[in-house]
Structure 1
Amino acid sequence: MNAVVRPQAPKGGLATWATLVIAGLVLWSLWSIDASPERLLKLPEQMVRVLGFFWPADWGYGQTRALPAVLESIQIAWIGTLIGAALSISLAVLGARTLFPRISRLVKFISSAIRSVPEILLALYLVPIVGLGPFAGALAIGIHSVGMLSKLGAEVIESIDMGTFEAVEAAGGSRLQAIRFAVLPQVLPEIMAQWLFRFELNLRASAILGVVGAGGVGGMLLTALRYRQFDKAAAVLLITILAVLLIDMASSAIRRRLVNS
C-alpha cells in the first residue's frame, strides 16, 4: 500500500512573515520615538558639534574633585557586589532544580522579582530610609545583584555532574555535607567569575546612582552638565571611562583564570 504524501508548506513562509512583523515593529518604534529620517541624517553632525563643547577638559578639576568621586563609585560597586555575592550563594543552592525541586521555582520567582526593579529605583526607595550618601547606593546595588547572581548560580549548579553529590549521600553524608563537599567545590570557580563580571556591571551602575543622591560620581556629572560646565563634565567622563576600562581588563583576566582553572 502506497504511503500518502502530504504537501508541505513552503519553508520560507514563516521566516518571511517573521521578517515582515519585525520590520513593522521597528518602523512603528521609530515613528513612536519621533526618529524621522531628517533627524537621523543630522545626528552625526550634531554629535560632532556637541562633542566640541567638551574640549579641552579641565584636568585640574578632574584630579581634585572627579577622581575622589570615581573612587567612591568603585567602593560603592565593590561593597554592593560583596553584599550580592554573600546573599546570592544560598539562594543559588536553593534555586537549583537538581537539589531542591520543590522550592526552586519559588526561589527563581523571587530572584526574577528582584531583577525587575532597577538599581536607581531601589536607591530612590533606600535614600529616605538610610539617608543620602554612598551607603544607600551600595545597598541598592547589592540587592539588585542578588537577583542576577542567584539565577546564574542556580544554572551553574544545575549543569554539574551529580554523581559526586549522590556518592556523598550514599556514604551516609547529609544533604548539607553533600552540598559542602560535592557541589560547592565544582561550582565556586565559575560562580566567583560571575561575581567579578557583576562587579563590572555594578561599577557602571554606581556612576549613575549619584543622580538620586546615592553617592558616587553621577551627581557631580549631572551638576556639571546642568550648569553647562562642559570642560568639568569632560574630565569626569574621561576619568570614569578610564577607571571602568582598567577594571574591566583586570577583571576579565582574573575571570579567565578562574574559569580555566
Structure 2
Amino acid sequence: MSTEATTRPRVVRPAEPSKIRATVGAIVLVLVVNAAGRFSNAAWGNLSDLLTDGWKYFYLMVKGVVQNPFSDPYSGYWTEAVKGMLESISMAWIGTMIGAVLSVPLGFLAARNVAHPVVVQVTRVFLNIVRTIPELIFAIILLLPIFGFGPNAGALALGVGAIGTLGKLTAEALEGIDPGPVEAARAAGASHGAILRWTYWSQVLPEVLAFWLYRFEINIRASAILGVIGAGGIGAVLNQAFRYREWDYIGILLFVIIVVTVLVDTISGAVRHRIIAGTGVTDRDIVTEPVGL
C-alpha cells in the first residue's frame, strides 16, 4: 500500500443545518395569519357564496360592457365613465407634480451625505408622518373643509400623500451616489450649489424620474378611492352607481378603470425602462474608423 493512500486526509461531511429556525418561523407565520383572520372578523364561511351571488353580479356587470355603446342609456354611461376617468388622470398628474416638486428639497434635507444629522433626523420624522397618513385622511380632515368637494381637494390630497414616499426615495437615491464626482468637484473649488446640482442631482435624476412615474400610477388608483368621499374623478361616479345598484353601469366603469390603468402602467413602465437603461447602445453599435497616419 502506498504512503499517499494512507496519508490522504479524511473528508468530513459537513453537519446538516438545523431546521429548528425554519420550523419555528413557519409556525409563527401560521399563528399570525390565523390571529389576523380572527381579529378581522371576516366571515370566511361565506366564501362559498362567490360561486352563486358573485357570478350573478359578475354577469350583470359584463352584460353592461357588451351592450351597444351607442344605445340609450349606455351611450351616457360610457361618456360619463370616460369623463370621470380623464378627471381622475388629471387629479393623479397634478398630485404627482405637487409631490415631485416638494419632495426634491425634502429629499436633499433627508439625505445623510448632504444635510446635517439634526436636519436629516427632523426631515425623516416629518416624511414618516406624512407617509403613514392615507390620502383619504388628508382629503377628509385637511382639504375638504378648505376646498370643498371636487377634484381640487383630491389632487392636493394625492400631492401631499406623495411627498412622504417620493422624499424618502429621493433621499435614499442621493445616499447611494458615487462619491467620486463629488470629491472631484470639491477639489476643483465648485460652490456648494453647483456640487448639489451637477454631482448629486445629475446622478439621481433618472432614478428619481422613474419614482415619479411609478407614483403617478399609484395616484391613478388612489384617485378612484378618493372619489368615493366626493373628491371627484371616476370614483365619485362609481360611488353613485353603487348607491343605486346599477350593475351594468358599474361594469362599464370598472372596465374603463382597468383598461386605462393597464395602458398607463404599460406606457410608464416602458418610459421608466428607457430612463434607467438608456437608449440601449452597445459597443457593437459603435463603429470606429481607423485613423490614418
TM-score (norm 2): 0.82
Pairing 1:89–2:104 present = yes
The answer as to 2:87 corresponding to 1:72 is yes
Map residues 217-256 of structure 1 onto 2, 5 A cutoff: 217-256=234-273
Is the CA contact (8 Å cut-off) linking 1:115 and 1:147 kept in structure 2? yes
Q: Distance in 1 between matches of 2:227 and 2:196?
A: 40
Cα shift at 1:258: 0.3
1:25, distance to aligned residue in structure 2 (A): 1.5
Q: Which moved more, 1:245-254 or 1:165-174?
A: 165-174
- Correspondent of 2:120 among 104, 125, 131: 104
Identify if the C-alpha distance between structure 1 residues 52 and 117 changes in structure 2 by more than 3 Å, giving closer, same or farther.
Answer: same
Tell me what 2:137 maps to: 121
Q: Distance in 1 between matches of 2:83 and 2:44?
A: 43
- The residue aligned with 1:141 is 158
CA contact (8 A) 1:30 1:36 kept: no
The CA distance in 2 between the partners of 1:230 and 1:43, in whole Å, is 16
| Aligned twin of 1:5 | none
Distance 2:196 2:177 in 1: 12
Q: Quote the offset at 1:136 in angstroms.
A: 0.5
Deviation digits for residues 21-70 of structure 1, max 9, x if unmatched? 11111112223334455323443444222212213116413332111111
Question: How many pairs are equivalent?
Answer: 254
Residues 66-87 of structure 1: CA deviation (Å, up to 9, x unaligned): 1111100000000000000000
Separation (CA, whole Å) in 2 of partners of 1:189 and 1:27 = 43
* Pick aligned residue for 2:57 from 50, 69, 91: 50
- Which ranges in structure 2 are unaligned for 5 or more consecutive residues? 1-14, 66-73, 279-293
Which of 22, 27, 44 aligns to 1:15? It is: 22
Query: Which deviates more, 14-23 or 28-37?
Result: 28-37
Equivalent AA in structure 1 for residue 126 of structure 2? I
Q: CA deviation digits over 1:122-173, x for unaligned, max 9?
A: 1112011112111100100000001000101111111111111121122212
Paired residues of 2:57 and 2:247 also in contact (CA < 8 A):
no
Q: 1:194 aligns with which of 211, 224, 227?
A: 211
Mapped partners of 2:195, 2:277: distance in 1? 24
What amino acid is aligned across from residue 256 of structure 1 in structure 2? H
SS at 2:251 equivalent: helix
Which of the numbers 32, 40, 44 marks the counterpart of 2:47?
Answer: 40
Q: Equivalents in 1 of 2:191, 2:22: separation in Å?
A: 52
Q: Does the 8 A contact of 1:123 with 1:140 survive in 2?
A: yes
Alignment-derived partner of residue 200 in structure 2: 183
State how far apart, in whole Å, the 2-side matches of 1:225 and 1:74 are.
Answer: 21
What is the Cα-based RMSD across aligned positions, in Å? 1.9
Deviates more, 1:70-79 or 1:171-180: 171-180
The residue type paired with residue 31 of structure 1 is R
The one-letter code of the counterpart of 1:130 is F
Summarize deviations over 1:78-106 as a string: whole Å, max 9, x none. 00000000000111111111112412222
CA contact (8 A) 1:61 1:235 kept: no
> Structure 1 stretches of 5 or more lacking a match?
1-7
- Counterpart CA distance in 1 for 2:254 and 2:34 is 33
TM-score, with length taken from structure 1: 0.91
Counterpart code for 2:250: A
Q: Percentage identity across aligned positions? A: 40
Distance in 1, matches of 2:244 and 2:39, equals: 31
Structure with larger Rg: 2
In the alignment, which residue of structure 1 is the partner of 2:180?
163
AA at the equivalent of 2:109? L
Q: Which amino acid aligns with 1:202?
A: N
